[in-house]
Amino acid sequence: MANNRDLMLRGLTNSPEFVKELFPAAERTALLYHLSYLCLGNFPKLERILRQRAVENQLLFVYSEALILKCATTSDDLVSSLLPMLKLSVEDDQPVLAVKSLEKSQTWINEIIQRANEMIDRYEKHIFDVASSTSDVITEKAETEKKKVEMSSEIKSLDKIVDLFQDDRKKISDKIEKIETKIKEKNAELQNHVSKVCRTSEGLGIMTAIVPFIGPIIETINDTGTAPGVKAKTKALTNELSQLTSEKSDLRNKDWSIQLQMTELQLKSAILKIEKGTIPDPVHLGDVQNCLSQIRTILIQLQKFWTSVGELLDSLKKKTFVGEDILDGNMTEITKSFFLKSIKTAEEYWKTFGQSCLNAKEIFDLKSKDAYKFLESSPPVDQVEWKQEYDSVIEKLKKINPDRLWEANQAAITE
């Protein structure tokens, strides 16, 4: 059984709020489509392509909203139905009730996993379509430039600076990738440490059967009596993980600052190129692909999370923990007490996860309805109006902080 429990622990999610990472990616995607439309939409062939891709993205967000809502309602069902049934089955020694509830919850979870897989495939296809559109723009741009005079020295100078910024972003990206590798390794080390502790603790073993987040398990390790050095090692590992996460956050903010500076230079370059009848570079479409890839990555994490929850509940139904059947009606008072406490902890974290999903659902709803109104008309022909609209989008982009957007959107949704 130890191996089964280790497997479950390695699949646990650190925080019930991991879906909050959807916010900046979803916010940026719509704004970057708007910028792409402004820069390329005055060229008829490219306008048609961008309209098609943007409409596809709208539909993608509608489907994403439905998936996230399903996650929220299932979380609520677990809190209002499954966990109370588990509590009742333990208090009244009625394991049949627990088994029936667990089987029902498996149906909910399997449906989410299936929907998540479908959404991941949809995002993958859309990312490919955007990449193809970027290639189409580059081809059209090359054909157009054959008929135009040589680029001005000012445009060349701006493009050169943008290239230097791209080099800086590449260096930052490499650093982030290395830190993410360290975070993954440190997470594995922490989860292996927790697994080892849980193998020697009956109460913690029971908690891993019902709480799908490693955070409360670590809190329990720190709050209960454990072997000498266990708390110290747990704290040291969590502190190291926190430090790495902080370093990653700093790099992401630095990268975002560079992106904003690049966007301002790209505006100047785009204006000059449009004046000459030349197609600007499709730089914003490349950023769209990055944002879509981030959303897809989070959906994969969501799919893995629910798969882990499904395996956890299945093990609760079929397996034994520390040599004693949890659902056989013969639990000791100590075991029963730990199990009931775990149910209470699980309720709190599932409620947090459900609320996070509802907030994420709202942002997808807002972005699918309001963020693509720019498609209702062609980009302004007048340069003053064009620049005003571009500047307006840039101001919205500047307000997006990778680490603070979550709180801002929560406030906006609450109002």
Q: What confidence category does residue 353 fall into, taking pLDDT thresholds of 50, 70 and 90?
A: confident
Structure tokens at 244: 């790495």
Q: What confidence category does residue 122 fall into, taking pLDDT thresholds of 50, 70 and 90?
A: very high
- Note the helical H segments in 276-401: 283-318, 333-369, 383-398
Residue 267: how many other CB atoms lie within 10 Å: 20
Ranges 127-131, 140-144, 302-306: which has the least confidence: 140-144
Calpha distance 283→174 (Å, rounded): 20
Structure tokens at 84: 């109370």
Closest CA to 338 of 209, 179, 146, 236: 209
Token pair 């020697």: residue: 200
The whole-number pLDDT of residue 113 equals: 92
Ranges 55-64, 208-217, 374-383, 403-412: which has the least confidence: 403-412
Closest CA to 72 of 351, 368, 306: 351
Residue 325: how many other CB atoms lie within 10 Å: 12
Ranges 112-126, 207-221, 354-368: which has the least confidence: 207-221
Structure tokens at 226: 């454990």
Ranges 140-149, 166-175, 186-195, 356-365: which has the least confidence: 140-149
- DSSP class of residue 43? S
What are the phi and psi torsion angles at 321 (to 5°)?
-125, 135
Structure tokens at 25: 């990616």
- DSSP class of residue 100? H
Calpha distance 361→265 (Å, rounded): 34
The whole-number pLDDT of residue 10 equals: 46
Q: What confidence category does residue 156 fall into, taking pLDDT thresholds of 50, 70 and 90?
A: confident
Q: What confidence category does residue 123 fall into, taking pLDDT thresholds of 50, 70 and 90?
A: very high
Calpha distance 131→188 (Å, rounded): 34
The whole-number pLDDT of residue 150 equals: 55
Calpha distance 57→310 (Å, rounded): 30
- DSSP class of residue 194? H
Closest CA to 280 of 398, 151, 366: 151
Question: What is the Cα 85 distance to its own chain's centre?
Answer: 31
Residue 198: how many other CB atoms lie within 10 Å: 25
Percent pLDDT > 70 in the chain is: 81
3-state secondary structure of 192: helix
pLDDT in tens, 399-413: 876 554 434 444 433
Contact yes or no for 324/331 (Cβ under 8 A): yes
Token pair 């981030």: residue: 294
pLDDT in tens, 269-281: 877 777 777 777 7
Question: Is a pLDDT exceeding 50 seen at residue 4?
Answer: no
The whole-number pLDDT of residue 401 equals: 64
Q: Tell me which fold the domain 2-414 belongs to.
A: Hemolysin E; Chain: A; (1.20.1170)
The whole-number pLDDT of residue 331 equals: 59
User: Dihedral angle at the C-alpha atoms of 129, 135, 137, 138, nearest 10 degrees?
Assistant: 170
Ranges 43-47, 330-334, 405-409: which has the least confidence: 405-409
Percent pLDDT > 90 in the chain is: 8
Question: Is a pLDDT exceeding 50 seen at residue 9?
Answer: no
Calpha distance 412→362 (Å, rounded): 10
Contact yes or no for 9/325 (Cβ under 8 A): no
The residue-averaged pLDDT of 258-269 equals 82
pLDDT in tens, 389-399: 888 888 888 88
The whole-number pLDDT of residue 330 equals: 58
Question: Is a pLDDT exceeding 90 seen at residue 193?
Answer: no
The whole-number pLDDT of residue 278 equals: 77
pLDDT in tens, 17-36: 677 778 788 888 888 899 88
The whole-number pLDDT of residue 415 equals: 37
Q: Which of 119-133, 243-257, 309-323, 336-350 has the highest mean pLDDT?
A: 119-133
Calpha distance 49→133 (Å, rounded): 7
3-state secondary structure of 279: coil
3-state secondary structure of 13: strand
Calpha distance 359→200 (Å, rounded): 39
Residue 181's Cβ-count burial label (10 Å; 0-12, 13-18, 19+) is: exposed
